[in-house]
Amino acid sequence: MFPDLTWNLKPKPCTEIFGDQDFELITIGCLISDMSKSFGQSDLGISSYVENLTSPEADPIWKRIRQSAADAGMPSIHVGEMDGQHLEVLSRALKPQKVVEIGTLAGYSGIRLLRGMNASGMLYTFEFSRMHAEVARRNFVNAGVAERTKIYVGPAIEQLPQIEKYGPFDLVFIDADKTSYPAYLEWTIKNLRSGGVLLADNVFGWGGIAENMATDPETIASVEALRKFNARVVESGQFTTTFLPTAEGLLFAVKN
Ligand SMILES: C[S@@+](CC[C@H](N)C(=O)[O-])C[C@H]1O[C@@H](n2cnc3c(N)ncnc32)[C@H](O)[C@@H]1O
């Protein structure tokens, strides 16, 4: 039932948390929840050095959000500490006014993005799970950003058309079900402004993007979708693209 990720990851049964919910991303998320999300993972000394120097979660809000998710029995699949820092620094630099996030979880990455936005900036965030959305809603209230946040519950691809009237958008961050990344990209191409930024997490396919050694169909499908997504971003001619070499791989592209 679970992907063979022993080549890279430590499997962890999801059924303890989610019963018989058959939900691809949650499953993969549980499986990877034990993986190191350190920045500079290939050199743990550098990783520790950077994390100690920058203390990316010195503000207690970040641990509180992680704890709120754990208390609710949610998988620990928030972006890593340094990835949260990357999102906040990028957002502070870009000062986006209208941001779309696909994959809310408990609101961790959304609040990181909101920290960099103008006081009048809006975050439109999409979450499949009603329970995750409810935990996120409480975290947005506690962080004092609820009025600048709209949460849409359900499959993102069905919900996204609702916000097209507010576009075009300044930044889109994709961090949900991997097999839908290509569809999210087509939506982004139509709804991101010229000069706007596309960010997407996990684009290294948990280490399998270059050589996919997974054997289970679920992981193979996810990695294939990520390959298709990465190639389309680059080959569409719509973006100037780079890949930030984080542990998960963070695609960073500017729309031409
Ligand atoms: C990796 S987590 C997001 C983590 C979040 N960005 C953070 O770092 O705080 C992915 C989230 O996407 C949600 N999700 C999965 N498939 C989805 C879909 N089709 N539409 C909307 N949300 C989805 C999952 O329920 C999960 O909460």
Q: Could you give the domains of the chain?
A: 37-255 (3.40.50.150)
Residue with tokens 């031409």, as numbered in its chain: 256
Q: What is the pLDDT of residues 154-211, one digit of tens each?
A: 999 999 999 999 999 999 999 999 999 999 999 999 999 999 999 999 999 988 998 8
> How far is residue 165 from each of residues 98, 114, 140, measured CA to CA in Å?
12, 21, 23
Give the pLDDT score at 37: 66
| 162, 177, 181: residue to mutate for ligand 1 pocket, most atoms within 8 A of CB | 177
| 77, 125, 159, 202: residue to mutate for ligand 1 pocket, most atoms within 8 A of CB | 77
Q: Categorize the per-residue pLDDT at 108 as very low, low, confident or very high, splitting at 50, 70 and 90.
A: very high
Residues shown for the chain:
256
pTM of the prediction?
A: 0.88
Give the pLDDT score at 3: 36
C-alpha 203 to ligand 1 mean position (Å): 15
C-alpha 41 to ligand 1 mean position (Å): 23
Question: Is the CB of residue 128 below 6 angstroms from any atom belonging to ligand 1?
Answer: yes
Q: What is the pLDDT of residues 154-168, one digit of tens each?
A: 999 999 999 999 999
C-alpha 154 to ligand 1 mean position (Å): 10
Give the pLDDT score at 38: 67
